[in-house]
Amino acid sequence: MVENFQIKIVPSKILKQKCEPVKKEDFGKALDAKMSGMLKIMLSNNGVGLAGPQVGDPRRIIVAHASDVDINYLKMVNPRVIERSETMVSTEEGCLSVPGYFIKVPRADTLKVEYNTPMGEVWQATFEGLAAIVIQHELDHLDGITLLDKSSRLKRTRYLQKRAKLNKKISRAIKKMSNI
């Protein structure tokens, strides 16, 4: 079964929902295939991470590029933070669900996470630097938090107004083209 994923853009309601854990009976090849599809859409959009709600799946699933150097991709199911460093780093982040928006976000420099593989195995891993930042960003998505929630009300409002104007222009253009 090949899914046709479409990245959800703010203000899509699913991006504000807290995700549900994947149930024991849902682990297996179908979940693994779905997450492989998520990796493909992430890579085709030049992303470094993607969470379930960003493709319309309300479950606690994440795919990510795990290393600053190696080509190593992660599929994380029901991830939970076990430990995080007190050392914080603040880097500019973007998001496939908030196109054209960038903001500096303080994050823990090191993160230890326990998660399941799509087949149900339990793993633990420690992430540092960019990988730790990416994982924390995706974990936010699982809790219904987007980059807009990390910014000031003024910046958030301006972005959403700009986005609404753009959406209206796109809708008018599509309507105009369909009348041709």
Residue 56 tokens, joined: 């319309």
Peptide bond into 79 cis (omega under 30): no
Instruction: Please calculate the CA angle 155-157-103 and round it to the nearest 5 degrees.
Output: 30
Name the β-bridge partners of 51: 62
Query: Does 138 participate in catalysis according to the annotation?
Result: yes
What phi and psi values does residue 96 have, to the nearest 5 degrees? -65, -25
Residue 30 tokens, joined: 């179908």
Residue recorded with tokens 């590029």: 65
| In 55-176, beta strands by DSSP E | 61-65, 73-84, 88-93, 103-108, 110-116, 122-128
Rounded to an integer, what distance in angstroms lies between the CA atom of residue 31 and that of residue 119?
8
Active-site position among 86, 92, 93, 138 = 138
Residues classed as catalytic: 138
